[in-house]
Amino acid sequence: MLDRVPEKGLIDQLRDMLPIAIGDVAIGHRRTGLVIVDEVNGFATVGRGPLAPPVENPQVTQMITETDQLARAYSARGWPVLCFLDTHEADRPEPPYPPHCIRGTGDENLVPELEWLNFEPHATMIRKDCINNFVGSIRPDGSNAFVEWINVHKLQEIVVVGICTDICVMDLVLTALSARNHRLFTHLEDIIVHADGCSTYHLPKDVALEIGLPGHAAHPQDVTHYMGLYFMASRGAVLADRLVLAEG
């Protein structure tokens, strides 16, 4: 009888088919900024609305811990931090998503572990009402708060963390890579994505179908997280699984 080779899991198959380069990345040897995407209650605090984890989720918990440590290290060095906060008016929905992060509910504010950033002089907040943070940073007069933040600080690198890896984080990173190549930034060279500082949500297909959603609403966490990392890397982002910070 032949020995059976155990079947590879889907993530291992993806790693084979769509490999990503990821490793230690040294940061802070040039002008650096930290970008935190949507680590708000409505996405990352257990039980806070339809897009938050219904029960404790290890990937989300790890993201918050990594973000808190990183943000404290940046603040200690006087390096700038930018927080995007998903914030919606009650009468302006964001299809295909159910109502979330409505202004005034508290769901649109930073998770408790990061609330200290509201009092941090080196931190900037941008509230926005769409998935793509680059688009959400466009003011009525056409100026862009995100582009300005990068250029005012003459940033040469940004480190991006947040939720969701394959949605708001990915859209921002991909758009910013295009903007960099289009020379909208005065000094920006690299966009670094800290993988363990990112997370996404888990909605298995059977659950999606059971609650009446279409099949494409299926969103297995490990696969979509990996795919998000792959698409960012394939477009030119630098992926890190460990950041080594300069002393500042």
Residues that bind Zn ion (CB under 5 A): 86, 94
The phi, psi pair for 192, rounded to 5°, reads -110, 130
Give alpha helix (H) positions in 85-220.
Answer: 133-136, 145-152, 170-181, 205-210
Closest CB 100 distance from Zn ion, rounded Å = 6
* 102 vs 193, beta carbon nearer Zn ion: 102
Q: Which is nearer to Zn ion, 86 or 157 (CB)?
A: 86
Q: How far apart are CA 23 and CA 236, in angstroms?
A: 15
Q: Are 165 and 155 in contact (CB under 8 A)?
A: no
Q: Is the dihedral of CA 224, 132, 65, 103 positive or negative?
A: negative
Which 3-state string (H, E, C) describes 184-219?
A: CCCCCCEEEEEEEEEECCCECHHHHHHCCCCHHHCE
Nearer to Zn ion, 28 or 53 (CB): 53
Shortest Å distance, C-beta 153 to Zn ion: 26
Least distance (Å) from Zn ion to the CB of residue 86? 4
Residue closer to Zn ion, measured from CB, 37 or 81:
37
- Which candidate, 78, 69, 90, 81, places its Cα nearest to that of 117? 81
Q: Cβ of residue 89: shortest distance to Zn ion, in angstroms?
A: 11
Please give the single-letter amino acid code of residue 212. Answer: G
Nearer to Zn ion, 111 or 240 (CB): 111
Least distance CB 94 / Zn ion (angstroms): 5
Residue type, 68: D
Closest approach of Cβ 76 to Zn ion, in Å? 31
* Residue with smaller CB distance to Zn ion, 94 or 120: 94
CB-based closest residue to Zn ion: 86
CA dist 242 and 248 (Å) reads 18
